[in-house]
Amino acid sequence: MKYSDEQRMKKIYENAVKLHEYITEKHIQREELLTNTPMQWLVTTPLYNLGEHVYHLSDEYKKAHSEIEWAMISGLRHRLIHDYDGTNWNIIADVVFEELPILIENVKQLI
């Protein structure tokens, strides 16, 4: 299915919020994400989805909203999928615990 930029932004927001809520409600800590393989699997699926939707946003949309690091988000998806064994979980923990709340607020302002 081909989504519009607006639809993709809603999907990005929904996936980011769901991941953040899950992490918060389950009181998941950074150390758990660094060491617990099932937890790592749990966070990668929403991150894949975020990156996939970002990748397919139009270039015009991304240029118009360049305050968001679109290339880093879609690049993270690419790295997780194609170099999963080489994943630096410290970086993923930074994304989940520090960058995700910022992304949620930025996307919220755009939708």
Question: Which pLDDT belongs to residue 82?
Answer: 86
Burial class from Cβ neighbours inside 10 Å (0-12, 13-18, 19+) for residue 27 reads exposed
Please give the pLDDT value at position 58. 97
- For position 61, what pLDDT does the model report? 97
pLDDT score at 80: 87
What is the pTM for the complete model shown? 0.89
> What pLDDT is attached to residue 1?
66
CA nearest neighbour of 46 among 70, 11, 79, 71: 11
pLDDT along the chain (111 residues), means of 10: 92 96 94 94 93 96 96 91 84 95 96 92
